[in-house]
Structure 1
């Protein structure tokens, strides 16, 4: 039995006076659509749970990642052979990046999908993604978390939304994901997540002229920060106040994780002196991770029942292949 968690999103939206809005009743629509399909007898059995309140994914919050993870674990306890999460596309990659780590030790597959147009709308992609996700379980032989969109399955930590219209909205950030995964996952068995944790994680994009005064309030407010650096992981290293702010935050136990602003960028701190200065300030390089996966991994590390040094250890590890080969 496949358990479906319906969070809202475009796939089940209906028109309102203010535009498309989340709506109940998706299960009835899906059952009716399935009955009209020639392959209906071959579809796996499924049951659907609406996660009230249904939301536009623009309103997704980090604590809701924990709720989704708990719902997946509960589905497993109820005997589910897999889980489909129906999610709005705006923040789907962020949720996927977090669940890739929060569900890393779950022993059933999870597929996350949605649509760019509501079910029933002309030329909607809702049913091709919904039923495509259900049939995709036939090709999944390991308990992974993946995103399914327009006939493509991609690792949950490796997807990126690149278009706001059209069917091909999501693409893999990197193509060699399965080849780069290593054995770190096997070491996660004893790692416990505090389901009641509410860590604060955020992102900071570097830009020419950034000042410590801009970054300091954020550094004071968070448990973890993704720093979106230039190129291979460089920053304004001659801005001593900014570097000192990073260093003080790291000393307080704030997890600082550096990614590249380049779509195909790898963070390698020792390539340039301007990158080495970040490493000396206590910033951890994330290799080729996407913004969404980096934020999700930070949330996972900050939610784990670990001390500060253990969290830094796991942040450095290439748990799912997310760092790439560097």
Structure 2
């Protein structure tokens, strides 16, 4: 770990910088001035040198899309490689904060600087807001030293970018690293095609929970929409309606059509182990790939990074099964 000397604060919008409008809270510009005024008025605040860049358009993170992930990635790489920044703080809304942290964990592989994402549950300036404590806490991390890679900082906790999830919609300690079992071989070396140097494109991805009443027609309609990757949220250890031959056939056909399908557990403390039950092994035989104990956010972000790099399904499946940044292994 090393102290950061030239920090970029990348402001993407979110609650932390929202202002009241006739329609309710909305992202507001001019956050740099508000941040400098606060830090100047609180001499105990971290004294790290920083500059701020606003992404356009500023977003309520409920509107976050793949194109915004790519814009954040490009801005971060440019800040490091062109402008000489040695650390990045991303200010982001909380609704999709864990999704963006996971996606950036895979999009920025090989970029040897620390990237920390944070936000707040209440806007800066609101009574009893958590905005300044989260922001100053993140600045302190950069000042004292933080490991390279992507992290999520919230309510005093520094979390792995590809292991965090939002569990609470109102409490200040909204995020946590779920205690999910992780297993998987660590990739000995990440190839250039999977690093930040590789351009990415948008990918048609979907997430579908298994539930009593899920029909083959539901899945067929999703596959027919052109989906290239599917995260199937299975029961428990990776089970589903394995006596539904029509459903199994749709999954098998999708795999033959080149759709990469991965299975995660619906349980907050769970992981996929297909061989535990026959109901799991039949899903595996139909073409599903185990995501082990990966979160929904990590599985989706990893699919995006792999398929968005133009990998064929077999190659993407190979790398999905390996641990790239700590998302699968302890």
TM-score scaled by length of structure 2: 0.93
Distance apart, 1:194 and its partner CA: 4.9
Structure-1 residue corresponding to 2:320: 315
Indicate which of 227, 230, 240 corresponds to 1:225: 230
Indicate which of 54, 60, 65 corresponds to 1:56: 60
Task: Give the match's secondary structure for 1:157.
Answer: coil
1:187 paired to 2:201: no
Deviations 1:212-248 (A, max 9, x none): 1111121222110100000000010111111111111
Structure-2 residue corresponding to 1:31: 36
Indicate which of 299, 302, 305 corresponds to 2:307: 302
Indicate which of 264, 267, 271 corresponds to 1:262: 267
1-structure distance, mates of 2:257, 2:105: 27
Distance apart, 1:253 and its partner CA: 1.2
Asked if the contact 2:89–2:118 (Cα under 8 Å) also holds between the matched residues in 1, the reply is yes
2-structure distance, mates of 1:155, 1:185: 20
Tell me the matched-pair count: 322
Indicate which of 244, 248, 254 corresponds to 2:253: 248
Task: Give the match's secondary structure for 1:14.
Answer: strand
Unaligned 5+ residue runs, structure 2?
Answer: 1-5
* Change beyond 3 A, Cα 1:14–1:124: same
1:275 paired to 2:280: yes
1-structure distance, mates of 2:227, 2:86: 37
Distance apart, 1:252 and its partner CA: 1.2
Structure-1 residue corresponding to 2:160: 155
Distance apart, 1:306 and its partner CA: 2.4
Task: Give the match's secondary structure for 1:321.
Answer: coil
1-structure distance, mates of 2:244, 2:129: 50
Aligned alpha-carbon RMSD (Å):
1.8
1-structure distance, mates of 2:214, 2:99: 25
Distance apart, 1:28 and its partner CA: 0.5
Task: Give the match's secondary structure for 1:153.
Answer: strand
Task: Give the match's secondary structure for 1:97.
Answer: helix
2-structure distance, mates of 1:117, 1:270: 45
TM-score scaled by length of structure 1: 0.94
Distance apart, 1:2 and its partner CA: 0.5
Asked if the contact 1:105–1:188 (Cα under 8 Å) also holds between the matched residues in 2, the reply is no
1-structure distance, mates of 2:200, 2:272: 32
Indicate which of 36, 48, 51 corresponds to 1:47: 51
Distance apart, 1:64 and its partner CA: 1.2
Distance apart, 1:188 and its partner CA: 3.4
Task: Give the match's secondary structure for 2:27.
Answer: coil
Structure-1 residue corresponding to 2:102: 97
Distance apart, 1:181 and its partner CA: 8.6
Structure-2 residue corresponding to 1:82: 87
Distance apart, 1:320 and its partner CA: 2.3
Deviations 1:146-201 (A, max 9, x none): 00001100001111111111211111113898xx7964263334535653511111
Structure-2 residue corresponding to 1:106: 111
Task: Give the match's secondary structure for 1:227.
Answer: strand
2-structure distance, mates of 1:88, 1:48: 17
2-structure distance, mates of 1:301, 1:217: 24
Unaligned 5+ residue runs, structure 1?
Answer: none
Structure-2 residue corresponding to 1:205: 209
Asked if the contact 1:259–1:291 (Cα under 8 Å) also holds between the matched residues in 2, the reply is yes
Between 1:168-177 and 1:43-52, the stretch displaced more is 168-177
Deviations 1:58-84 (A, max 9, x none): 000112111111111111111011001
